[in-house]
A and B are shown apart, each in its own frame.
Chain A
Amino acid sequence: MSGAVDLSPRIPAARRIGPVFGGDLLLAGLVGLILASALGLVLLQPAPYLVNMIGQLAAFAILAVSLDLVWGYLGILSLGHGLFFAIGGYVCAMHLLAHAYAVTGRAPDLMQFMGWKSLPAYWTGLTSAPYALALALGLAVAVAFAFGLASFRSRVNGVYFSIISQALVYVAMLLMFRNDTGLGGNNGMTGFDVLFGWPMGTPGIATGLAVATLVALAGVLAGARALVASPLGRRMLACRDDEARLRTLGYGTTRLKLGIWCLSAAIAALAGILYVPQVGIINPRVLSPDLSIEIAVWVAIGGMGRLSGAVIGAVAVNALKFWLSAALPEAWPFILSGLVLAVVLGLPNGLLDLATLRLKPTWLRRGGPRP
């Protein structure tokens, strides 16, 4: 509907960093820290559980950045990003199972469970890692494209979009809970014994995965930073703040939103790909609507509309979760809900408000509602 709109950057690069990029130094520092910890993992060889935890946190951070790109910079709150994460995770799990089967000859549990003599046709080629990677990203982008096109074309946005995306992930969860999807049903998939021909579960593999995830996070952050600072990024902000106005300036916003939405889905799938070999299992619970909302919660807590905020939020909330759900499992849901309410009410820009010392809760401010 929007004719030939060229999204290539033509506007001269902004000479100064806009107000939303106040955290830019922070981001640079963050990327440095991420790379330093990757190096630290290699040199110091910390305890395997710590390595594993850092790797998982990094995967969650990638997921949070993918959501922040569409929510913080484009104003599209997806409550279904777990879907793309799960697509990456499931395809990765399929690859690992197919690969392990090919290397060891030991039939995966799934085959026995389903009563298969061999893996069905749609597993063909999944022993190849590049094909699996392409399939995971391609599938995530295809699903995102179909859903995004249907929604953006008919100008479904705001909370409408949010709740429809939630229904999408909910339906996907119901679908994956069924055994006849052939992807493990309720039990999901586990028993990943081999990675690139190496036996899983060794400290070396754990370190390798964690380092790869950290490096991927740094790469995603650098790429996302380049994107949001580019003229295209300016257009994203314009679209977030007043989409109708941007259209009357001649920009087809459907294409802009669809492009970034698909990019975000691919990044979320990448996070899923990196996450699954580290936890060793995938099941339909990653598709629970609550998990998808939690991603938004990480971003909100860290500070939406800033890439560093997404990373800080994801790492802070999940580190707390790792610690508390072991130490005080009963209390964790209460702490999480308290945290969300505190941030939403008191720190509209998330934890970064603390960093910039803007500690003025809304309920202490006088006057009418803030825009």
Chain B
Amino acid sequence: MVEGPGRFGLAGLLVWIASLVVQPALATAAPLDRGAFAAALCGDGAAQTRSVESFLGIASEAETSDVAWAGTALRALLDRRFACLGETALLLDRAGAAEGVDAATGAARPAAGGRSPVLGLRQRALVETASGAAVLLTAPGVEARRTGLATLERRIAAVPEALLLRAASAETDPGLRLSLAAVAQSAALSSADPARRLAAIRAVSEAPSGAARSRLSALKADPAYGTDPAFRATLDAALARVERAVSIGDGLAVLYNGLSFASILFMAAAGLAIIFGLMGVINLAQGEFIMIGAYATYGVQEALRRLAPAWLDSYLLVAIPVAFLASAGVGIAIEALILRHLYRRPLMSLLATWAVSLFLINGVRVAVGSQNLQFSMPSYVSGGVPLYADFVVTWNRLFAIAFAAVTLVLTLVILKRTPLGLDIRAVTQNRDMAACLGIRTRRVDRLAFGFGSGLAGLAGVALCPIYSVNPGMGANFIVDSFMVVVLGGVGTVVGTLVAALGIGGANVLIEPLYGAVAAKVIVLAGIILFLQRRPEGLFAVRRRR
């Protein structure tokens, strides 16, 4: 699932931000009296508290330079690099240094005779929060700002909303902006002002997500839920709305995952169906052709890493032809060495392909090892776009889906528009007649077998960003791919597509309800029942026998 950014619907977020912009976010430059602030920090606990709280109060409107300055001072105070000399204060490079700079003017001065003010527990926490706020508002680095936000979160009740709002509007990093929004929401939800709370609850429901749901559910424990009818009504309505949206979003996510699983299945099964339709050979090594495609992708990645690191990110694209040719090459070799001798003995060819698969799995295991391969994720397959509630269109799955769509189109073009495709269709429909017409059926067999194997190799490329890659990975797809062929019927690309969508969809639809195993049981039972009605699959043309 999604990592990092993207827990909120983008649209909802914008609505929420707009709703918060009651006062303009940008500072109307209220000056900070640096001298007085420094002096107050040198005072007693009450003075410190007062001054730091007032700083937090004006930080959302203060000049950036003032905020940065206050941040430096507070940091120094925390690190005991703050020395008080009468009414003025010095900032030191390190604790106990002999010289420092004047906190207010920046002039260098000796630090002799200065004392470091002591922070009480309560004051320390407050100063930390204020320092974090300053960092969040002014630090140049994203990581520093993220740390600042983390500091703020610990005492979020003390942080004025306007401050968070200013940080959010100034923030350039989208991930951090989302985090800021979330923190600001929590802050508003626990606000003491009932009107603001209700507004926050409504705002949260505008951006529904699983996190929003748990945040709102937590409010049911709030005393106001029992005593304040308006609060209760607003919260219940908001929760209902969020729950509905979350279930729709989860439904979309399931469909999306189903579509991407179906895409991989389709690519694996299309080759199987073509080969089976043409030669009657059930290729039990198809899963291993997927594996070869994935390993070829890995090889491309490693080669680019060594030879052209600047191009590393493009390895998935470079791997497309490489994986296709690698799998197709192995397929053609197997056809030429083994299967050629076994046509018309379909059950024996089935055992032979099993032996090939055993050989390939163990060959790779011995040569490369049986651990999962590590892939670096280029930017175009990591992350995604949050679309609705928790539903995020992740690039890795979109990559697989787009890939399958392109493969589908290419397969159809090759089968319907090229001489090889015509030969394949002719031999599939009537081998003897095609041979009589001078079609070199053996050559067609070999090329088609290579083509079908190559399609499996493409599936291997597409699943690298999604599934783990190891020598035994083929087994995860092979049974489902066979079911696709059985359900879709032989020698029809459209049937394969529909069956892949059906089986992939059914698997992911049933899985959240009854579990993965039940999904497989139900799908298999469904296929067996379906075959009662149409033993030759969905799209098999009725022919004279």
Contact = CB atoms under 8 A, between A and B. Distances in A.
Interface of A: 71, 77, 147, 150-151, 153-156, 158-160, 162-164, 166-168, 170-171, 174-175, 177-178, 244, 289-290, 293, 296-297, 300, 330, 333-334, 336-338, 340-341, 344-345, 348, 362-363, 369-371
B326 to A, nearest CB: 20
B344 interface: yes
18 contacts: A77-B347, A154-B531, A154-B532, A159-B350, A163-B483, A167-B527, A171-B517, A177-B517, A297-B355, A334-B359, A337-B356, A337-B358, A340-B355, A340-B358, A341-B356, A344-B351, A345-B352, A363-B341
Contacts of A296: 351
Interface in B301-349: 338, 341-349
A338 B337 CA distance: 13
Interface residues of B, number: 45
B282 interface: yes
B282 A159 contact: yes
Interface string B468-490: 00000001000100110110000
B20 interface: no
Given A167-B483, A341-B355, A348-B348, A362 B528 contact: no
B453 to A, nearest CB: 18
Contacts of A345: 338, 341-342, 352
A344 B348 contact: yes
Select the residue from A175, A336, A337, A345 with max chain B CB neighbours within 10 A.
A337
A369 B343 contact: yes
B347 A159 contact: yes
B354 A150 contact: no
B464 to A, nearest CB: 24
Contacts of A162: 282, 347, 350
A166 B478 CA distance: 10
Contacts of B276: 159
A26 B532 CA distance: 42
A344 B362 CA distance: 20
Contacts of B338: 341, 344-345
Given A154-B532, A164-B486, A344-B355, A371 B344 contact: yes
B272 to A, nearest CB: 10
B354 A293 contact: yes
B233 interface: no
A250 to B, nearest CB: 19
A350 to B, nearest CB: 11
A175 B347 CA distance: 27
B482 A167 contact: yes
A147 B528 contact: yes
A150 B521 contact: no
B479 A153 contact: no
B516 interface: yes
Given A158-B346, A164-B483, 13 more contacts: A159-B346, A159-B347, A162-B350, A163-B486, A166-B479, A166-B482, A289-B475, A297-B355, A337-B359, A340-B354, A341-B356, A344-B342, A344-B349
Contact of A160 (B344, B345, B486): B486
Contacts of B92: none
A181 to B, nearest CB: 9
A296 B355 CA distance: 12
- Consensus secondary structure, chain B interface: helix
Nearest to A153: B532
B522 to A, nearest CB: 10
A289 B479 contact: yes
Given A150-B528, A363-B341, A174 B520 contact: yes
Contacts of A293: 284, 351, 354
B456 to A, nearest CB: 16
A345 B356 CA distance: 13
Nearest to A155: B535
A162 B361 CA distance: 22
A159 B351 contact: no
A308 B356 CA distance: 27
Given A158-B346, A334-B359, A171 B535 contact: no
Interface in B512-544: 516-517, 520-521, 524, 527-529, 531-533, 535
B361 A333 contact: yes
B293 interface: no
B280 interface: yes
A333 B354 CA distance: 11
Contacts of B531: 150-151, 154, 156, 160, 164
A320 to B, nearest CB: 15
Contacts of B358: 290, 333, 336-337, 340
B366 interface: yes
Contacts of A340: 351-352, 354-355, 358
A103 B9 CA distance: 64
A317 B413 CA distance: 47
A168 B356 CA distance: 23
A151 B528 contact: yes
Contacts of A170: 479, 520
Contact of A174 (B341, B347, B361, B516): B516
B362 A334 contact: yes
A344 B486 CA distance: 25
Contacts of A178: 517
Given A154-B531, A174-B516, A330-B366, A369 B521 contact: no
A352 B348 CA distance: 16
Nearest to B528: A150
Give 3 closest A-B pairs by Cβ, nearest first. Answer: A340-B355, A337-B355, A333-B362
Contacts of A337: 355-356, 358-359, 362
A204 B508 CA distance: 53
Interface in B437-480: 475, 479
A369 B535 CA distance: 28
Given A159-B280, A178-B517, A330-B366, A341 B352 contact: yes
Nearest to B533: A154
A306 to B, nearest CB: 16
A67 to B, nearest CB: 12
Contacts of B529: 150
B524 A168 contact: yes
Nearest to B358: A337
B517 A163 contact: no
A289 B524 CA distance: 15
Contacts of B528: 147, 150-151, 164
A317 B356 CA distance: 18
Contacts of A175: 517, 521
Nearest to A300: B351
Contacts of A166: 479, 482
Nearest to A168: B524
A289 B517 CA distance: 16
